[in-house]
């Protein structure tokens, strides 16, 4: 079959890498892809912010299956549109994707279905923010309602700061339309966990859990990013916790969406805080995580195409995925200045040596290819990923591979999975 992957990041490189291992796949396209993806798929120019552009691409390719990476095309209704045109597409409809595209919708949904989450208030004006703040103790988490590419969450140290930030969001100056409604939230502490499942609208198949590292600096310091690294290991949660998350989070979400008339098909990413009071939902994403997908897919032993088809056809089952008991770690190498402004076009060296290392796969995020060389073209540039029997060896493998790779201004976190290694 011909498969089309939409997107251009490290997650999409990992999806292409995994999907093309399926004996069912004869040809794989990526729209628009990146320098590294171009070595494994045919890249087709496309604008993921435009449904017209994506429809034009699919019309040329006539894919037998489309897998959508980022949230934006899902918000635009790419699944609704492609399905209407008879192209089999994996992911939630525009209505179901609201779990990610509106934080207010997600919070009210969680409350309606009694799924554990932080206390919150939804506010449409600064007056509402000021009166809601009486019910919060600092620090207060201020979130833009809409999509903000990881920049929509501010942890305010005082109520004054919370009101100022909320005011800037509400005015539209800070994040445009995405911030014209805000959610105030109680600040939670604990370890974060990314728990992803695939659903067919009714049943679910869980993936192995992973942990992302969102802050730019070691020891979780500095501003939030799209994710600086992630790992997955069998010990990350035990079977009891997995069952709890299935029973108390994933299944109630899927059942709730069905009951409300917006059947949820595709990947449901539950972003959790493992607090002293138990797991609480921080957010939902309606897609695979980036960079979690890179190490998760390195542990997947079953055919991803089969599981995706099961979701589309409404026959998902608990055992759709088979996993290696190995661990996998992805360390992101980013451009100097990221997550702030950065320069692109830096030559990347050492990729050939890294590729020869045992258990290592370098997924490209922001790269372009020119005359046989690779150059940086984005904030997150590479996801250097390694798999090994035990977590310490996987961590060592990823960092050893990094020492062979270089580009001007490159930076990366030195402590991916460090907390898990201590335990
Ligand atoms: P979100 O997009 O809602 O997942 O928020 C982005 C990041 O902000 C999360 O991954 C957490 O690191 C942090 N965050 C969000 N909500 C809270 C909260 N209620 N308490 C503490 N940290 C939070
Ligand atoms: N790694 C976080 C995300 O994909 O949103």
The tens-digit pLDDT sequence of the chain (423 residues) is 999 999 999 999 999 999 999 999 999 999 999 999 999 999 999 999 999 999 999 999 999 999 999 999 999 999 999 999 999 999 999 999 999 999 999 999 999 999 999 999 999 999 999 999 999 999 999 999 999 877 789 999 999 999 999 999 999 888 888 888 999 999 999 999 999 999 999 999 999 999 999 999 999 999 889 999 999 999 999 999 999 999 999 999 999 999 999 999 999 999 999 999 999 999 999 999 999 999 999 999 999 999 999 999 999 999 999 999 999 999 999 999 999 999 999 999 999 999 999 999 999 999 999 999 999 999 999 999 999 999 999 999 999 999 999 999 999 999 999 999 988
Report pLDDT for 14.
Answer: 98
> Cα(153) to centroid of ligand 1, in Å?
7
Domain at 119-186, CATH from 3.30.1490.20, 3.40.50.20, 1.10.569.10, 1.10.3720.10: 3.30.1490.20
Atom index in ligand 1 nearest the CA of residue 188 equals 20
Q: Is the peptide bond before 291 cis (omega within 30 degrees of 0)?
A: yes
Closest CA to 300 of 202, 381, 421, 196: 196
- Whether the CB of 280 sits within 6 Å of ligand 1: no
Q: Which CATH class is domain 2-90?
A: alpha beta
Beta strands 204-206; 278-285: pairing state = unpaired
E-assigned strand segments in 100-233? 120-123, 140-144, 153-156, 182-186, 191-200, 204-206, 211-212, 215-217, 221-224, 229-232
With a CB cutoff of 8 Å and minimum separation 6, the contacts of 369 are 35, 36, 38, 39, 375
- Whether the CB of 110 sits within 6 Å of ligand 1: no
**26 token code pair:** 């004869």
Report pLDDT for 178.
Answer: 85
Report pLDDT for 151.
Answer: 78
> Which residue's alpha carbon is at the smallest distance from atom 3 of ligand 2?
289
Domain ranges for the chain, please list them: 2-90, 119-186, 191-320, 327-422
> Which residue's alpha carbon is at the smallest distance from atom 4 of ligand 2?
289
- Whether the CB of 100 sits within 6 Å of ligand 2: no
> Cα(371) to centroid of ligand 2, in Å?
32
Report pLDDT for 131.
Answer: 97
Does the domain made of 191-320 have the CATH classification 3.30.470.20? yes
Report pLDDT for 330.
Answer: 98
Atom index in ligand 1 nearest the CA of residue 118 equals 19
Closest CA to 81 of 71, 69, 66: 66
> Cα(152) to centroid of ligand 1, in Å?
10
**383 token code pair:** 């996801």
Q: Is the peptide bond before 118 cis (omega within 30 degrees of 0)?
A: no
Report pLDDT for 286.
Answer: 97
Residue 272 forms beta bridges with which residues? 193, 281
Longest pairwise C-alpha distance within the chain: 60
- Whether the CB of 215 sits within 6 Å of ligand 1: no
> Cα(186) to centroid of ligand 1, in Å?
10
Domain at 327-422, CATH from 3.90.600.10, 3.60.20.10, 3.40.1010.10, 3.90.220.20: 3.90.600.10
- Whether the CB of 383 sits within 6 Å of ligand 1: no
């Amino acid at each position: 079959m011909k498969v089309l992957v939409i997107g251009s990041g490290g997650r999409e490189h990992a999806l292409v890498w995994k999907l093309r291992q399926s004996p069912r796949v004869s040809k794989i396209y990526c729209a628009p892809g990146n320098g590294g993806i171009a070595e494994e798929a045919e890249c087709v120019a496309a604008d993921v912010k435009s449904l017209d552009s994506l429809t034009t691409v699919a019309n040329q390719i006539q894919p037998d299956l489309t897998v959508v990476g980022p949230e934006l095309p899902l918000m635009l209704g790419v699944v609704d549109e492609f399905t209407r045109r008879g192209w089999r597409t994996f992911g939630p409809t525009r209505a179901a994707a609201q779990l990610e595209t509106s934080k207010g919708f997600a919070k009210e949904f969680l409350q309606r279905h009694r799924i554990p989450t932080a206390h919150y208030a939804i506010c449409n004006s600064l007056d509402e923010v000021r009166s809601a703040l009486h019910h919060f103790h600092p620090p207060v988490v201020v979130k833009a309602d809409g999509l903000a590419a990881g920049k929509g969450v501010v942890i305010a140290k005082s109520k004054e700061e919370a009101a100022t930030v909320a005011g800037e969001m509400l005015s539209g100056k800070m994040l445009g339309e995405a911030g014209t409604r805000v959610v105030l939230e109680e600040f939670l502490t604990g370890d974060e966990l990314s728990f992803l499942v695939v659903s067919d609208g009714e049943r679910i198949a869980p993936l192995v859990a992973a942990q992302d590292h969102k802050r730019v600096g070691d020891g979780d310091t500095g501003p939030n990013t799209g994710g600086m690294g992630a790992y997955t290991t069998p010990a990350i949660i035990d079977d009891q916790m997995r069952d709890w998350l299935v029973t108390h989070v994933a299944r109630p979400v899927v059942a709730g969406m069905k009951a409300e008339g917006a059947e949820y098909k595709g990947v449901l990413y539950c972003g959790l805080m493992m607090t002293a009071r138990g797991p609480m939902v921080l957010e939902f994403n309606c897609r695979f995580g980036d960079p979690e997908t890179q190490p998760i897919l390195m542990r997947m032993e079953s055919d991803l195409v089969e599981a995706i088809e099961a979701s589309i056809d409404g026959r998902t089952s608990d055992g759709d995925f088979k996993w290696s008991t190995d661990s996998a770690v992805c360390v992101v190498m980013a451009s100097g200045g990221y997550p702030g402004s950065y320069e692109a076009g830096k030559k990347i060296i050492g990729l050939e040596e890294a590729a020869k290392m045992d258990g290592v796969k370098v997924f490209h995020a922001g790269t372009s290819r020119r005359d046989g060389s690779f150059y940086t073209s984005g904030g997150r540039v590479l996801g250097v990923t390694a798999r090994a029997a035990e977590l310490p060896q996987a961590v060592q493998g990823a960092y050893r591979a990094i020492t062979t790779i270089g580009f001007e201004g490159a930076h990366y976190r030195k402590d991916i999975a460090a907390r898990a290694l201590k335990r």
